[in-house]
Amino acid sequence: MPSRYHHLSRAQLAVLVPELLLIGHLIDRAGMPFCLEAWGEDQMTQVAIEEWAGASPIYTRRMQRALAFEGDDVPTIFKGMQLDIGAPPQFMDFRYSVTDRWHGGFHLDHCGALLDVEPMGPGMVKNMCHDIEDPTFDATAVATNPRARMRPIHRPPRTPSDRQPHCAWTVDIEPDSPEVQPIPALAVNERSHAATLVLDGIDPAQDGLADYSGALVSDFDFGAFSHSALVRMADEVVLQNHLLNLSFHLAVRQRAADDDATFHRVVSRQLIGHAGVAAERLHKAMGLGDTPQDAAYLIELHPLMNPQPYTEFSRDGETVTVSRSLAHEDAGWLSLCTPDTPDALRSIVRAVNPYLDVEIAGTDTDWTARVVLTDTAARESGEVAVTKFSKGAAFQFEPRKSLPLFVK
């Protein structure tokens, strides 16, 4: 079954994929404020650790298989990081170096995540750059080689306050290092439909690169890849979005326990904030207009409704239809969108035009939504406003030259 991104041109896809990577990164920014509100700083930190560690090994292996760069060495780890929503290009500006297959390092010339939390003080910086990074970097390595270790040379809080680069790390794989053990939530997430979904293969006959089996490059050149490869990347990246969100749900449920009201409040507000900010970025990147039809098309492009085999979705003009799907069975984002809970869809269409709204009819899993023009402009939701605290909401990509990285 063709991807919903198949109709886009190769040039459009080269713009879309990095956008989807950055959009995925903002899932965390959309959810953490509500975890902080519900359970405090220490538990918010633990949610962030479990969120990333319960998802990144799954989607890293998926991307390795899709683009044929499976391996067990340092360059393989770095290739995976370049296509990881945890390290979106330029916003998290990783600069890699390789000494040999088993040793290398990286530094960040620009860490958007750091710039987001520095205004909150050194305590929040330590939470992110020490408490969260140590276990989640190890979890990233689990996907490639459980004996890999990422260790800091220096990291924030910055001394002096304008220190550059923002941080620097070594990456070493030693045969006598004990293997990193995955967290229990990873095994749960591995059983999800999102983890096991089969997507169409890449057509090797098209113009452009069909895989990333060649040399590691300094900046990933999306435009160098074929239309088919970019479609597969886009679908894999939106699956990363879903897997990270499912992992977030597991961590939130662990703390909410039987308090369904708190669970639904936290995960729903995360979705509303993320949906709106993601829609704003996609609307601008794809150069869409402000009509109801444009808004319905934006819903079709949104990670919420992709990839094609995971969600049952169709569009006719300004009307979209959703049917029960694998995404509902996973009880992720799509299960939070019903005729009684339309705020995430409203968040998307109002990113196109504040005068737009949605009229939804049907059941919790089978419904039709029509985008309509109203006489009154809606105010931006609090959830979207909170997510926009991240500089990633307005970040602009710049042209980069992609150069191969060789062993020193």
The pLDDT assigned to 407 comes to 64
State the pairing for strand pair 103-111/148-154.
Answer: unpaired
If you compute the radius of gyration of the chain from its CA atoms, what whole number of angstroms results? 20
The pLDDT assigned to 15 comes to 98
Task: Report residues of the chain scoring pLDDT below 50.
Answer: none
Q: Give the residues across from 341 on adjacent strands.
A: 338
The pLDDT assigned to 406 comes to 67
The pLDDT assigned to 246 comes to 98
The pLDDT assigned to 405 comes to 86
Q: Give the residues across from 361 on adjacent strands.
A: 368
- Provide the token pair at 59: 């989607």
State the pairing for strand pair 92-100/356-362.
Answer: unpaired
3 state DSSP class of 332? coil
The pLDDT assigned to 395 comes to 96
SS3 content of the chain, % helix, strand, coil (to 5): 50, 15, 35
- Provide the token pair at 35: 């975890």
Handedness of CA 286, 249, 388, 236 (dihedral sign): negative
Q: How far apart are CA 25 and CA 85, in angstroms?
A: 5
